[in-house]
Structure 1
Amino acid sequence: MSLTDKAITRIRELIQSGELPPGAKLPPEQQLAADLGLSRNLMREAVKALVVSRVLEIRRGDGTYVTSLEPHLLLDGLGTAVEMLRGETLLQLTEVRRLFEPVATGLAATRIGAAQLAEVRRHLDAMRAARDDAELLTEHDAAFHRAVLAATGNETLVSLLEGISSSTLRARVWRGLVDEDASGLTLTEHETIYAALADRDAALAEAAALVHVSSTERWLRDHLGAD
């Protein structure tokens, strides 16, 4: 472990122990460095790294603070990393989605409220209207799944699944489906998910989501192999 990594670990320990809770202001750089037995240069490097990872934030003219540490902040960088994946790793990403998203959809069926269900329906209707427009399909498909995940009420789950949902990959799949005149089947899969949510049927919602993600994975396997 490098000296900078050790410095990062020391600051994280202060946060994890509750000595520096969310929203807390860090002591002045010189004082904190002395308290932790670190040089000021190491302290600066550690703070920079923790700012990049959204653990700390620098408020100009005020000081350095611990962020809210909410999942959407801490997992924000995941989406950027996911967009860099290529080839076989894209299939691995889809496998991860297949493991998590159906269960999340089943959970959503037990918790979804009327307003949330209406939001899912709105994006489903928009997808039906745009069945030959890959750009609009991509936009409303993402919003459809985001609305379903939001209904779970689990912010960590939402942030994690949003992070592993590559917008580039989503657009590629929809362009391919439209070009092949095969978007109708995928729309039907979304309709089945919506119907299960409307019935508050967790088992059916989970099964419908599994069918949907699996068909996307199958399409991707076929087309990656052809590239």
Structure 2
Amino acid sequence: MALSPASRPPLADEVTAKLRAMVQSGEWSLNQRIPSETELMAGLGVSRGTLREATKALAHSGILEVRRGDGTYVRATSEISGAARRMYQDHTEEHILEVRLALDTQAARLAARNATADDVTALRGLLASRDQAWSGEDYGAWARADWEFHERVAQASGNPLLHELYASFGAAFHQDLLRQQRRPGFDGRPHEGHDLLVDAIERRDAEAAVATVNRNLNSCAEWLAA
């Protein structure tokens, strides 16, 4: 049944929901600049004022970032990710790593129970991409593949809330990887928490999965403390 005028949500709320859906569906990817106001006004059939109200709402929630004179960019895929992204700016790398340790170990444990054959294939493919990018000194691609690997483990956990929380680490994780890459002697292809993790997930060995994640993150903690 159609909504009556009295019960229909404000137009700006409808536009906000449409823009949010475009982000969450992957139509606009993380860090991508979204179409111009003119394009969006024409595509959505709304006024500039309504569009700006919707954009402002999503910028306030952390999903979008408006850069004056440059455009509007996707900064998070949900309100929870946007809020987490802002919170990370107020905490140390050590604090972030400690939270990651809790999420990574639980994701590994659940992935060993719930991952599908397609998940395992995807994880091995991401590691192959990571290794190829590292060998070719394409460190941006290397960092993206490494992050996508860890996020896919969280997705394979079968817990959508854990996956969403983990995905909120994207920006901080990516920056940390690029800092590590500049460290003399750093190896961007560690087996701990990566190849050995996939092996454990494939064997359905939750304890081995958790153990290799712990060893990997402990080495990260040692690097931060150095």
Query: Shorter-normalised TM-score: what interval?
Result: 0.5 to 0.7
Q: 2:144 is aligned with what amino acid?
A: E
Rounded to whole Å, the distance in 1 between the matches of 2:180 and 2:87 is 16
Does residue 159 of structure 2 align to residue 154 of structure 1? yes
5+ long unaligned stretches in structure 1: 1-23, 29-47, 55-71, 223-227
Does residue 121 of structure 2 align to residue 118 of structure 1? yes
Within 5 Å, give how 1:63-212 maps onto structure 2. 73-81=78-86, 84-85=89-90, 89-132=92-135, 133=137, 134-165=139-170, 166=172, 167-176=174-183, 179-184=184-189, 186-212=190-216
Alpha-carbon distance, 1:111 to partner: 0.3
Structure-2 change in CA distance of 1:98 and 1:181 (3 Å): closer
Task: Report the structure number with the largest CA radius of gyration.
Answer: 1
Structure-2-length-normalised TM-score? 0.61
% identity of equivalent residues: 25
Equivalent position SS for 1:131: helix
Q: 2:178 is aligned with what amino acid?
A: A
Rounded to whole Å, the distance in 2 between the matches of 1:50 and 1:125 is 36
Equivalent position SS for 2:125: helix
Q: Cα RMSD (Å) of the superposition?
A: 3.1
Rounded to whole Å, the distance in 2 between the matches of 1:52 and 1:94 is 26
8 Å CA contact 2:101, 2:214 repeated in 1: yes
- Counterpart in the other structure of 1:213: 217
5+ long unaligned stretches in structure 2: 1-6, 12-55, 63-76
Q: Which has the larger helix fraction? A: 1
8 Å CA contact 1:193, 1:208 repeated in 2: yes
**Number of equivalenced pairs:** 162
- Counterpart in the other structure of 1:53: 61
Rounded to whole Å, the distance in 1 between the matches of 2:115 and 2:108 is 10
8 Å CA contact 1:193, 1:209 repeated in 2: yes
